[in-house]
Structure 1
Amino acid sequence: MTLGALLFDVDGTLADTEPEGHLPAYNRAFREHGLDWTWTKKLYRKLLLISGGRERIDHYLDRYDPEVGTHDERIRDDRAGWIAEIHRSKSRYFRDRLEEGQVPLRAGVARLIREAGEAGMRIAIVTNATRATLEPFLAFALGDALLPYIELTVCSDEVSNKKPAPDLYRAACERLGCAPHECLAIEDSNAGATAAHAAGVPAVVTINEDTRDQTFETASAVLDSLGEPGEPSGVLKSPGFDFDYVDLDVLKRISARTMEQPPRAG
């Protein structure tokens, strides 16, 4: 058996979309809707433990009881609709930031996608983002140079449950026609690694500022980035061998090791 496909998460994995894109977009959306709310990086890190943008706003209302100004009646009558309107505004501002080039890809991402794609490796994107949120990322962050290598995208509005549930990874494996243990997930969060593990897919985690304090018991390796030639990856949990940066050969070696004892799907 050989590595059959790479399954990439998006937010925090392909790019630091949360601090560079989503967080400022949320705060602009709040101002647009007349809300005196400002999510700081510290607060947003806590809110990221809630999967999904609309769910995050809903949780913020419940947990932090913020001032809502003149919106009380609307929230009572149509809370979900009101939240959806704010989230649509956020998505528009997020798209603007992508189009302006303010959300660059993380180290090693473009190199690895290109290398894997040119080698004929199947590549999918598996994300908690909705299709509407993902499409501008594909267009402006990946662009014409990398997008042709992406065979499949699976978004949260296509399954019943978001990560950390396994639904997205199960759907990706089914649509690709690959056994889960023949795939490898690239993630940045414990929720993502947990989702992959529950689907029987081994995961490599590249942490970021929002996830570095999380635990990753199920991950096959935990790194601070994919790295680049001359800019080695920092290894927090080793896959059992040494390397400078993550390339396709490294991922194949990680996959071969995990195939000896594939993760059991939950």
Structure 2
Amino acid sequence: MSLRAVLFDVDGTLADTESLGHRPAYNRAFRKLGLQMRWGPKLYRRLLKLPGGRERLKYYVQHYRPDLGAQQAEVDADIDAWVAKVHELKSKYFRRRMRHGKVPLRPGVARVMREARREGLKLAIVTNASLKTLRPVLRYCMGPELAAEVDVIASGEEVAHKKPAPDLYRLAMRRLDVKACDCVALEDSEMGMKAAVAAGVAAVVTVNSDTVEQDFERASLVMSSLGEPGAPARVLRGQLPGPQWVTIGALRGVLEQSKPRPARAA
């Protein structure tokens, strides 16, 4: 068992794309369509338990029964087509927010990626999002230079089952040609953590305002962020080997700690 790859989730892990990008973009799309509904932080946290933007929108319409006004006829005729229309408009506003620099990388992300590459490790992005949704993150949030360091992308439209199923992690590992015992996953949510753990991958969680109250009992380490030398992070669960910011050395320590211990002789 030795660390060979670091697998990054996107939304909430690389950047606070949910609170700073997707949710405002949904609300802008709703206003553009003349809808009275608005997704506040508390409601959006509930919806984030579902895997994917289209799934959240469809669930909201079917279970919350909002007043859709003139849009109701379209929903009644073909809810999936209506969801696709709204999601496309949301994506337009999301790309605009990314292009205008509204969604920066979270602390430590660029540093950990660059350190991983210097040490010869492989990098993957593992996300429920589609490639179309991911591209603005790569271009405007990460930037071309950092995005070029990523070896593999596994996106939601490529698998039958999104997170919390392990399919995306298994796909990424096949493409990287690595085993689960050689990887650490960086996630921000219970759903993502479950996907990594189900694939046999040790999970390090960096929480955000949308996920801080979720259950991370099965995570190897839970932090407030990856941290920086000038801005240490808080350890919320587990033990961080070394300083109060995540390094590749610390991830190696996490992997070692997650290794199954041999049973003691009776």
Q: TM-score range by the shorter chain?
A: over 0.9
User: In the superposition, relative to structure 1, how do residues 261 and 52 fare at CA in structure 2: closer, same or farther (>3 Å)?
Assistant: farther
Question: Match of 2:104, SS?
Answer: coil
Superposed, which structure 2 residues align to 1:55-66 within 5 Å?
A: 55-66=55-66
Partners of 2:261 and 2:171 in 1: how far apart? 22
CA distance in structure 2 between the aligned counterparts of 1:71 and 1:147, rounded to whole angstroms: 39
> Could you list the per-position Cα deviations for residues 161-194 of structure 1 after superposition, in whole angstroms to 9, with x for gaps in the alignment?
1111111001111111111121110000000000
Q: 1:261 and 1:210, CA in 2 relative to 1: closer, same or farther beyond 3 A?
A: farther
Deviation (angstroms), 1:110: 1.0
**RMSD (CA atoms):** 1.4
Q: What secondary structure does 2:259 align onto?
A: helix
Please give the per-residue CA displacement for 1:142-171, whole angstroms capped at 9, x wherever unaligned.
112311210011100000011111110011
Identity over aligned pairs, percent: 49
Any conservation in 2 of the 1:182–1:259 contact (CA below 8 Å)? no
Tell me by how many angstroms 1:63 deviates.
Answer: 2.0
Letter in 1 for 2:187: E
What is the aligned partner in structure 2 of residue 179 from structure 1? 179
Amino acid at match of 2:124: A
| Aligned equivalent of 2:151 | 151
Q: Which amino acid aligns with 1:103?
A: V
Q: In structure 2, what is the equivalent of residue 122 of structure 1?
A: 122
Query: TM-score, normalised to structure 1's length?
Result: 0.95
1:10-43: per-residue Cα shift (whole Å, max 9, x none)?
A: 0000100011000110001111222111111111
Alpha-carbon distance in 1 for matches of 2:243, 2:93: 39
**Counterpart of 1:259 in 2: which secondary structure?**
coil
Cα separation, 1, equivalents of 2:257 and 2:14:
24
Aligned-partner SS, 1:153: strand
Contact 2:25–2:90 (CA under 8 A) maintained in structure 1: yes
Contact 2:197 2:203 in 1 (8 A): yes
Superposed CA deviations along residues 64-99 of structure 1, whole A, max 9, x for unmatched, are 110011122211111100100000011111010001
Gaps of 5+ in 2: none
> Which residue of structure 1 aligns with residue 165 of structure 2?
165
Contact 1:3 1:256 in 2 (8 A): no
Letter in 2 for 1:83: V
Matched to 2:254, the amino acid is I
Q: Which residue of 2 aligns with 1:22?
A: 22
**Aligned mates of 2:260, 2:147 — CA distance in 1:** 32
Q: How far apart, CA to CA, are the structure 1 residues paired with 2:70 and 2:241?
A: 59
For 2:178 and 2:261, locate their aligned partners in 1 and report how far apart those are by CA, in whole Å: 17
When the two structures are superposed, what TM-score results if normalisation uses the length of structure 2? Answer: 0.95
Q: Distance in 1 between matches of 2:161 and 2:91?
A: 21
Distance 1:52 1:197 in 2: 19
- Contact 2:242–2:250 at 8 Å: present in 1 too? no
Q: Kindly provide the amino acid, as one letter, of the partner of residue 93 in structure 2.
A: Y
Corresponding pairs, count:
262
5 Å-filtered alignment, 1:90-109, equals 90-109=90-109
Residue 251 of structure 2 corresponds to 251
Deviations along 1:203-257, whole A, 9 cap, x unmatched? Answer: 0000000000001111100010101002111001123645321011111111122
**Does structure 1 conserve the Cα–Cα contact (< 8 Å) formed by 2:228 and 2:245?**
yes
The 2-side partners of 1:78 and 1:60 are apart by 15
Consecutive aligned runs of 4 or more in structure 1 exceeding 2 Å deviation: 239-243, 259-262
Is 2:251 aligned against 1:229?
no
